[in-house]
Chain A
Amino acid sequence: MIGFDILEPYQFEFFRNAVIVSVLAGAVCGLIGVYVVLRGMSYIGHGLSHAVFGGAAAASVMGINYFLGAGLWGIASGLLIGRVARRRIIGADAAIGVVTTASFAIGLVLFAVYGQAHKSLEASLFGSVLGVGRGDIIAVLVVGLVTLLAVVLQYRPLLFATFDPDVAQVTGVPVARMEALLMTLLSLTVLVTMRVIGVLLISALLVTPAITARMLTKSFGRMLWLSPLIGSVTAFVGTNISYHTDWPTGATVILVGAVLFTVVFITSGAKGRRSVDGMDHHAEPSLRAA
Chain B
Amino acid sequence: MTSLIDFVHVACGYGGSPVIDDVHLSIARGEFVGIVGPSGSGKTTLLRALLGTVKPVHGTVTREPNVRLAYVPQVETVDWNFPVTVGEVVLMTRTQRPWPGATKDELSQVEALLERLGLAGLAKRHIRELSGGQQQRVFLARALLQRPDLLVLDEPTSGVDVRTRHEILHVLTDLNEEGIGIVLTTHDLNGLAAHLPRLVCFNRTVIADGAPLAVLRPSFLERTYGAPMEVLEHGGMPVVVDGNLGDFSRRLKAKTAS
Contacts and interface: CB of A to CB of B under 8 A. Distances in A.
Interface of A: 38, 152-157, 159-160, 163-164, 166-167, 169-173, 214, 217-224, 274-279, 288-289
A224 B99 CA distance: 13
A156 B84 contact: no
B126 A164 contact: no
Interface stretch (B65-73, B180-188, B212-220): B65-73
A155 B88 CA distance: 11
B196 to A, nearest CB: 23
B14 A220 contact: no
B92 A156 contact: yes
Contacts of A221: 88, 100
Nearest to B88: A220
Interface of B: 14, 48, 51-54, 69-71, 73, 77-79, 81-85, 88-89, 91-95, 97-100, 126, 146
Given A157-B98, A170-B51, A171-B146, A279 B81 contact: yes
A73 B248 CA distance: 63
A159 B91 CA distance: 10
B98 A156 contact: yes
A164 B77 CA distance: 9
A220 B84 contact: yes
A260 to B, nearest CB: 18
Given A156-B94, A167-B73, A171-B70, A289 B79 contact: no
A180 B5 CA distance: 32
A164 B70 CA distance: 14
A38 to B, nearest CB: 6
Given A157-B95, A159-B92, A289-B48, A152 B100 contact: yes
B92 A166 contact: no
Q: Which of A156, A159, A173, A276 has the most CB of B within 10 A?
A: A156
24 contacts: A38-B82, A152-B99, A154-B98, A156-B94, A156-B100, A157-B95, A160-B92, A166-B53, A166-B73, A166-B77, A167-B73, A170-B70, A171-B70, A171-B95, A171-B146, A173-B95, A214-B83, A218-B83, A218-B126, A219-B85, A222-B83, A275-B81, A279-B81, A289-B54
Contacts of B54: 289
Contacts of A220: 82-85, 88
B53 A219 contact: no
A104 B88 CA distance: 40
A276 B83 CA distance: 10
A-B pairs, top 7 by smallest CB distance, nearest first, are A218-B126, A155-B100, A160-B92, A170-B71, A289-B54, A289-B53, A170-B51
Contact of B81 (A169, A224, A278, A289): A278
Nearest to A217: B83
Nearest to A152: B99
A164 B73 contact: yes
A282 to B, nearest CB: 15
Give the interface centre of A152, A170, A223, A288 by most chain B CB atoms within 10 Å. A170
Most A C-beta atoms less than 10 A away, residue of B52, B71, B82, B92: B92
Contacts of A219: 83-85, 88, 126
B79 A156 contact: no
Contacts of B99: 152-153, 155-156
Contacts of B98: 153-157
A224 B14 CA distance: 36
Contact of A223 (B71, B83, B89, B92): B83
B93 A171 contact: yes
Contacts of B73: 164, 166-167
Contacts of A274: 81
Given A217-B83, A218-B85, A220-B83, 16 more contacts: A156-B91, A156-B99, A156-B100, A160-B93, A164-B78, A166-B77, A170-B69, A170-B71, A171-B71, A218-B83, A219-B84, A220-B88, A221-B88, A221-B100, A275-B81, A277-B81
A275 B95 contact: no
A173 B94 CA distance: 10
A219 B100 CA distance: 12
Contacts of B93: 160, 171
A53 to B, nearest CB: 32
Nearest to B84: A220
Q: Of residues A155, A173, A289, which shows the largest number of chain B Cβ atoms within 10 Å of its Cβ?
A: A289
A64 B252 CA distance: 78
Contacts of B85: 218-220
A217 B82 CA distance: 11
A225 B137 CA distance: 29
